[in-house]
Structure 1
């Protein structure tokens, strides 16, 4: 019996060793120069010394990032790093730098390097977006495994919407999030402002390897519970004045657009998702639209939405539910939600393309769109401040305009809204989710008022 157990143990170890040895790791830093990498944002110094990338701080420059030329979606990454105790840093993953997002500001997931007494190395931060997503504030094992002034090692898994991190073999983070599906990897040298005492401080990285070929096969289990951010506010969002309009369970902040209460049928909540049922494609002809009980003036709104094939819906703002008490939808400016490939409305309207996904419905066409495939979540963002309005889709600005201007009023006169006096010019109004007779789902509905 003992011999059988011993043989089983040896066999298991042999398989594990073989698996580790045959995993398709490949180097994305050659150890000699910065081929395959480029620098973004700040002017920190990056050079190669003794087989490592060395980043040095420079005064009066913003955060600097040495980024891969290639982008990556699903992968397992491992690397070693060493940092001065006076400097925090990080490793960007699935990150972007876009002209229409804060003038090429690097943004995306960052695996934190934190040598301070806080000890959050291995936590996940959302650089230049939402802030901390998974801080090490619950006594995660990794919080005690950082080695000051020595080489440390990260293992980082980004597979589907699941992120796992380990520091020196100890579990650090386990997160579910799907804000960004693909992006570059970046090595951060943090800004030091004008602090002379921190000029020339170093952070170093080496042995940077990645698996992109079937990473699921080589994924490791992690002993941390998965943190789910859906229908929750991050600590930064709470400090920034964000409010949840839907917490994944209650519809208390909503009512029917033509009702005093929430519709008794048609709309339902399941697994943290708010869904309008399929009812044949009619505009507000079944359960009807729903609106926020509260009205908003200047605001930033974020909504995740998922459509079904051929679906039509919309997110309206500056809605007055006292207008149009008859058939059809309540009146307001509309962020269009549409299956552009299958729904005939995509080719209609007096302004070309103005009824397509993320457009200002019937007025202005959205451009530079990158919708996610059918069946996946998309992320809408609407910003309205002092009559200047932006529509965003999946982290990219797709249109902007000024309401209450001669140009805007001309567009209205040329649209289906010409019959509504002062259309789109209310100082404040409700937010609306549309029932257009097709199955569409919503989650992570959050808003902050701008002052």
Structure 2
């Protein structure tokens, strides 16, 4: 994401969540399994994990094509800068944010990501299609190499954060080169970011607390920020190589 103008004190909320193997259909637990081919969450984490809402999961990446996506503001045009490589969705060059063809209202969104050294990206949601750029309307779950990127020095802009507004607990992001499991829940005004089995942040869009934080950030003058009840989801092109897999979504009532 872009540099932070003014930040608040970091607030850490700890719980647990999920991520894991590629799956479709009603198998809501499969993606919460092994990350990068190994360990599963602890028994305590599994017990504390929130129950998935009823509904069908839909895969948004088949490992071979980029069907169902477009570069922001260019629907219908060939995708530039993003490729399917060895079953992974990779930002390989300039092209702009990779954006879902479909708009979503309430949903659970899951994927795994990894970045190269110093890498930066993000998951931006409920993007108003009228916005000139995605991040002026859509809130962002930060993707980052916390150890090498300058944003990693500020908890409010570290991996898992609600960028510039809510900080995650320290130490929940995996080292560079390892896969990180994301679960993003957006239901009405309620939002949860889960990273590697930990609830990174939780907030209510439009609440007095959220509004206070927004007014104290660079978003203060962006009147449409966080206001859309429905919109696109995008994977941010921040100029760095970033990898995604196991991308899927479940729409909520």
- Whether these two folds match at TM > 0.5 is yes
- The equivalent of 1:100 in structure 2 is 15
TM-score, normalised to structure 2's length? 0.79
1:231-246, aligned counterparts within 5 Å?
A: 240-246=55-61
Of the three residues 183, 191, 201, the one matched with 1:381 is 183
CA distance 1:409–1:329, change in 2 (3 Å): closer
Do structure 1's residue 269 and structure 2's residue 54 form an aligned pair?
no
Matches within 5 A, 1:38-49: none
Q: Any idea what the Cα deviations from partners look like across 1:204-249, whole Å, max 9, x if unmatched? A: xxxxxxxxxxxxxxxxxxxxxxxxxxxxxxxxx9x84111111112
Contact 1:369/1:393, CA 8 A, preserved across alignment = no
SS in 2 for 1:313: strand
String of CA shifts for 1:312-346, please: whole Å, max 9, x gaps: 10000011132125xx8564100000111111123
Corresponding position: 1:251 with 2:66:
yes
Give matches, 1:220-369, under 5 Å. 240-261=55-76, 263-277=78-92, 286-324=94-132, 331-347=137-153, 353-369=155-171
Establish whether residue 445 from structure 1 lines up as the match of residue 253 from structure 2.
no
Gap regions ≥5 residues in structure 2: 1-13, 21-26, 45-51
The answer to whether structure 1 residue 181 and structure 2 residue 36 are counterparts is no
DSSP-derived class of the 2:125 partner? strand
Q: RMSD over aligned Cα, in angstroms? A: 3.0
Distance 1:108 1:445, change over 3 A: closer
Tell me what 2:225 maps to: 423
Deviation >4 Å, runs of 4+: 182-186
Is the partner of 2:143 in helix, strand or coil?
strand
Count of paired positions: 225
Following superposition, the deviation at residue 428 of structure 1 comes to 0.8
Matched with 2:24 is none
CA distance in 2, matches of 1:132, 1:250: 20
Counterpart Cα distance in 2 of 1:339 and 1:260 = 30
Task: Give me the TM-score of the superposition, normalised by structure 1.
Answer: 0.46
- Superposed CA offset, 1:92-142 (max 9, x none): xxxxxxx7248xxxx999xxxxxxxxxxxxxxxxxx961699xxxxxxxxx
Alpha-carbon distance in 2 for matches of 1:297, 1:183: 29
Which stretches in structure 1 are left out of the alignment for 5+ residues?
A: 1-98, 110-127, 134-160, 162-176, 187-236, 279-285
